[in-house]
Structure 1
């Protein structure tokens, strides 16, 4: 069965926010990936390479709080109140395709389902009601 986790977008202060969340919830980050460490790292605007491309903090037994810095240089902007997405982690590629195709029907696909550089099968869209979703299948992911 799929697991749903919140994915937050910040305007450049993801690291500060997540250090705060870590101080409250405890635990350790599962992943911290900076824009400079991605295959497109050389295309990031000057001074933004150390910004957070992806960070994850486990909360409780099966929840993961995740986030990114929404870089305006990459035409992204986090707007308070709509600066989040729902991220679904699936148990199979077939389940990922089924959920992606079903939920994105009538909506706007931003990233079609495909194998990504970090190893996951991933896609992203806004559904017909304006809700942003990310669907991911990663056979190497930690149990959720």
Structure 2
């Protein structure tokens, strides 16, 4: 058994596009509101093609799930935190973490703790994405 972070967004398509472009999301699989499996639902439950019933994606080799909120209602994702830990002595992992953080900031994420050395970590940083999710980088 394992735990997987599941996000709800007002607009998952926007989040998925952003994550693909700036956080390196890959292997995006999405079931939209126009999926044939839902064509016989009562009219009041039908969603348009841009509505995400469920999606999976990978970032930095980890799997995440997401969906849209019912009727795309606003949602506050503050408090949703993803923490990536890595081996600081592994040059490839360290560079991957640096690149991930840099690309996120370049894409418009807000740095709440700039990536750098802290008292507790040789490389640590936190940023918030435009969808309210907080992302942490921490060297072990």
TM-score band (shorter)? 0.3 to 0.5
Q: Could you tell me the TM-score, scaled by structure 1's length?
A: 0.43
- Greater C-alpha Rg: 2
Q: Could you tell me the TM-score, scaled by structure 2's length?
A: 0.44
